Amino acid sequence: MSKEIFYWQALNQALDAEMSKDDTVFILGEDVGLYGGSYRVTEGLHAKYGDWRVRDTPISEGSFTGLGVGAAMVEMRPIVEIMTINFSLLALDAITNMATKVPFMSSGQFPMPLVIRMPGGVAKQLAAQHSQRLEQTLMNIPGVRIAVPATPQDAWWQTRQAIRSNEAIIILEHELLYFSKGILDKTAPAPPMHRAMIRREGRNLTIISYSRMSLLAEQAATQLADEGIDAEVIDLRSLNPIDWDRCVASVEKTHRLLIVEEDSLFAGAGAEIAATLGERCFYSLDAPISRHAGLDLPTPYNGKLEAASIPTVTSIKQAARALTQTENAK
Amino acid sequence: MDRSRLLAMLHDMLLARKFEERAAEEYTKGNIAGFLHLYPGEEAVAAGVMHASEPGDYIVSTYREHVHALIRGIEPKRIMAELFGRKDGCSGGMGGSMHLFDRARRFMGGYAIVGETYPVSLGIAYAIAMRELPEAVICFFGDGAVNQGTFHESLNMAALWRLPILFVCENNHYQIGTEIHRHSAVAEVYKRACGYRIPSRRVDGMDVLAVHQAATAALEQIRAGTGPQFLEMETYRFRGHSMADPGNYRPSVEVKAHQQDDPLLVAIEETLPYYPSSEEIQAAGHDVIKQLSDHMNNEGHLDQAGFDSVAKQIDDIIEDAVQFALNSPDPTMQDAWDALYCNRGEEVLI
Amino acid sequence: MKRTPVTMPVLSDTMETGHLVRWLKKPGDPVKKGDVLAEVESDKAIMDVEAFQDGYLSGPLAPEDSDVPVREVIAYISDEKPGPDSQSADETPAMEKTPAQDSDSQADDQSVDKSRDQSTNKTNVDAPQRTQESESESESGSEPESDSEQESEKVSVSANADAQAQTQKQTQSTDSISQAKASPYARGLAMELGVPLNQVAPSADGVIHANNVLSAALQGPAPNLDAGPAWKLHAFTPMRRSVAEHMQQAGKTPTFHVSARLSLELLAKQSKQQKHSFTLLLAQAAAQTIKEMPLFNAAYTPLGLAYRNQIDIGIAMDIPGGLVTPVLRDVAGRSLDELEQSWRALKQKAKQQRLLKEDYQGGTFYISNLGMFPLVDNFDAIVPLGSAAILAIAALQDGKASVTLSADHRVVYGADCARFLEKLNDKILGFN
């Protein structure tokens, strides 16, 4: 039974499904309860599950994220919603110093079934403080798993998998995806949570991307096909761990790699992807790995500048052409 | 208070004192590395509070937590092995001095980032409240930690949701080298909790009986579901902040520090581990252990011979602990990976 | 004395190096803004390097007949007449990078910016469409790479062992040929296929990619010159390289030939009387024929035949240093006078090597005329990609000439060609 729904609805239904099955699951965050969540993700859950399981918190990211750590240590399954990734900087101590450190430093004495959800990315003119990506900051914390669902189907699968896992998991949502639509088939079997998906098969180059950018990459690839450029598009779905084997297999097939990320170029997620695939695929590469990323610039408020600061379908196509046409140009 | 409780507290305090003295010695021998924060002087707080706790309560402590762990009942040899970084340590050699854990004893860890104990306690207490259990969380922190944002965030939430937490401030008047009047606008820490409508009071932290009485009363109410309480324990440490800190804590230290603005001298001193002699300890004022043993002597609970026999017993325990630690193997790198992925189970990720 | 650098101009979106053909001024010559200082050959055409200010040309000058990356300094303009000291510096070529180039290489790192800002139109650089005729044709004309001692040294490599004694200058130019960068994948492929990398021509970006190796492998082995006498390598001029590559591609077309002897005497007479070019009249006759047989205006594509709605005829021209095929547009739809005017303009441009892309791209039918060589009594030509056929005309003998239609058998067949030649004959005679 599959139907088209909004991304936020898929998240909402995933939360509801897990909460109804397991009463150790609880949600906390700013405006998640009575208000229903600033992006409607927790709509209706407070009415159904009450104060204790859908907890409105004060604006105290550092402490309520740490609360999640403490609760997970005693076998609760907290889902912390941080309103946007930008505020997670205030919670980095809990994420970095506590969530994976407690199980590790205790030599494995404590479970950590903690889920931290937060949206990020460049939305519509929210200015520099509210438009950050920060994937790279979170990727550098050993042991923190990061899922980046791009579609309602993945949002449904990965949220439920994250809640059931006993490890600390961050789900990076994207503000511009909440109101995007897609097919949700609740009966379809879920692939492993961190497996990359090949969204489009192709022969001329591999485009590796994630989250909203993977949708743009897919659109770009469809248009590139009309020009005779046959791009394979991989949606990573996860930034830690990364499904390297699928990436390697694709690059070994196409011999060219374009990485598309909304994150800033310098030391961004793409840098890690380029470095690892550079090591693993060196002898298969027919051109230098190319990264197409956001500018190393705080996001400007001005709408035109904002749009020009991150990859677009058009710019992805240009980057793909530049990468594939080195050999044709003569 | 009955004799056996008093005797047990004396035993624990003496054990704590001798354990820390030995740790300092082992540090200078190179068997213990990293940061080592010692507790002498403050034993009455740990002993008084731990003897008021029940097995169902949870302890969340700081990086100066060896004694909390010891009195909570973690075997001295497993703590010593942890200080040595060995596989048989209570954290498997992955945590070290600042990160002792023992899930079975609900010892929820030593946290080395100042201000982390509040949110962890909050989470555990939230779970207790949701499950409506008669349990409490004892949250330790120092006077230096009360200016951290999480203090205010967490006290607010604890009060708002009436979470079962006993906040215990070990006020030794120093944030490393900064005296409390130089780091806090309000030096009476307990007054801060009043801002969140949390019942709070100041206790003489050098008097183990007073500490025990206050903690017992507070914990009984907390377990009954009346919400959090706050105790400020006035105490002081004999030693510097850590082994790297010469830490003369008496008022003259500030004068001396001002005299010794020469950074070279300070740097040289900081490299030398320092432990005060018993004369220096006595000169510092009232010693909690002497106070309790005098009290028991006066009450007729214990004579000098009895005290000596307890002390001898403890010396043996400590010697055993050191031998155990020395004989314990190093953990392997595989142990480290296992620790990181301890919660993965059969989960397939990719 | 103030010296302003003169740099290798960027003359097209794809140009990475320019071939400095010759200097038109000497060091010390006074120059005025707008004066032409030198000629540069890009992958498209020969262009002028103009002075952007008044002053005196001063060295060091980049050597003639050398390839220079764009934006590199090739000379200076000084505000005073340079003394004899700076003259002596002319011996060494200037190869400094200008600030502009540095900033550009930075921009390269920011591939995002670059790809976003630059026009997307990184075209498949169509080099001039040129037809290849007989060997003698391409060898004709005065070659720029004449065998003067000095010139051959710059671009030569000797296979014999004594070569090691050669100057450093030679080694450098050897490097540029044999040590092109290769992608890791191309390297592996080359090793697997046994293709020596130094025999693989790189792509436009100067890098050997996998497809360069593959095409080298498909071409078969390079000749083993070491077995013969000592040899010297003359690097391709851009024009020669372009012709070679297009012929390589066109070589895959399944081609056949149909010849006929046509009476062209009347056409020749008419050309003299009306003062119209013979070739032009021939082109017009061909265009009239094609108009009735649109199949000859079609091109093979993998998806089907592409019929074009206008007849554009490319006409091979012998020029110094090579061969070009200016395209005469809409030959069937325009008057003879109009065509004559266009044709003169094209010829003029071609002789000066000033043809632009729009002048030589996209012919739908081709003509190659060797009628000016009386000894040639028959030849055939190679069908350029994008056309169905090419018409080769040999010298007039006894009023008749051998005319050969070479055609792509995927588009037209033998009988089509026979009919075409018959119709063409009618048209030619119809001019009477």
| Residues of chain A with C-beta less than 8 angstroms from the C-beta of B92 | 106-108
Mean pLDDT value of segment A24-39: 95
CA distance A54 to A48: 9
Asked if domains C3-107 and C250-430 share a fold, the reply is no
What are C55-81's pLDDT values in tens digits?
899 888 888 888 888 888 899 888 887
Mean pLDDT value of segment B178-188: 91
In chain B, which residue's Cα lies nearest the Cα of A50?
B130
Q: Where do the domains of chain B lie, and which CATH numbers do they carry? A: 3-340 (3.40.50.970)
Q: Where are the domains positioned within chain C?
A: 3-107, 147-236, 250-430
Residue type, B129: A
Candidates B97, B155, B161, B350: best to mutate against A (most CBs of A within 10 A) is B350
Q: Where do the domains of chain A lie, and which CATH numbers do they carry? A: 2-185 (3.40.50.970), 197-324 (3.40.50.920)
B346 close to A (CB below 8 A): no
Instruction: Compute φ and ψ for A146, nearest 5 degrees.
Output: -130, 115
DSSP string for residues in B243-292: TT-----STHHHHHHHHT--HHHHHHHHTS-----HHHHHHTS--HHHHH
Q: Which of A105-109, A253-257, A283-287, B264-268 has the lowest average pLDDT?
A: B264-268
CB contact under 8 A, A315 and C110: no
Q: Which of residues 217-276 of A touch C (CB under 8 A)?
A: 255, 265
Q: Which of residues 16-55 of A touch B (CB under 8 A)?
A: 26, 52-53, 55
Instruction: Compute φ and ψ for A208, nearest 5 degrees.
Output: -105, 130
Mean pLDDT of chain C: 76
Q: Is the pLDDT of residue C219 over 50?
A: yes
pLDDT at C106: 41
Residues linked to residue C393 through DSSP beta bridges, in sequence order: C369, C403
Q: Is the pLDDT of residue C234 over 60?
A: yes
Residue type, B339: A
Going from the C-alpha of C174 to that of each of A258, C43, C237, the distances in angstroms are 34, 21, 15
Mean pLDDT value of segment C240-252: 79
C176: Cβ contacts below 8 Å, ≥ 6 apart:
C67, C235
C and B touch with 3+ CB pairs <8 Å, answer no
Mean pLDDT value of segment C234-253: 78
CB contact under 8 A, C115 and A292: yes
The question of whether A61 is a catalytic residue gets the answer yes
What are C374-401's pLDDT values in tens digits?
899 899 999 999 999 999 999 988 889 9
pLDDT at C32: 87
> Which residue in the list A61, A218, A232, A272 is annotated as catalytic?
A61
Mean pLDDT value of segment A23-33: 97
Which CATH number among 2.40.50.100, 3.60.15.10, 3.20.19.10, 3.40.350.10 corresponds to the domain C3-107?
2.40.50.100
B209 close to A (CB below 8 A): no
Question: Is pTM beyond 0.90 here?
Answer: no
CA distance B95 to B102: 11
The question of whether A174 is a catalytic residue gets the answer no
- Say which residue, A250 or C153, is predicted with more confidence: A250
B105 close to A (CB below 8 A): no
Q: Is the pLDDT of residue C235 over 80?
A: no
CB contact under 8 A, A286 and C185: yes
Q: Which of residues 205-264 of C touch A (CB under 8 A)?
A: 205, 207, 209-212, 245
User: Tokens 């930008």 identify what position?
Assistant: A86
Q: Is the pLDDT of residue A306 over 80?
A: yes
CA distance A272 to C246: 42
The interface pTM score, or ipTM, of the predicted complex is: 0.94
DSSP reduced 3-state for C347: helix
Q: Is the pLDDT of residue A252 over 90?
A: yes
| Among the partner residues B123, B125, B339, nearest to A66 by beta-carbon distance | B123
Mean pLDDT of chain A: 95
Is the separation of the CB atoms in C83 and C28 below 8 Å?
Answer: no
CA distance C171 to C153: 10
Instruction: Dig out the tokens for C183 from the structure.
Output: 């992608």
Mean pLDDT value of segment A68-76: 98
| Residues of chain A with C-beta less than 8 angstroms from the C-beta of B228 | none
Contacts 24+ apart (CB under 8 A), C224-230: C225/C159, C226/C159, C230/C158, C230/C159, C230/C160
Range C250-430 classified under CATH 3.30.559.10: yes
DSSP reduced 3-state for B117: helix
Residues linked to residue A232 through DSSP beta bridges, in sequence order: A206
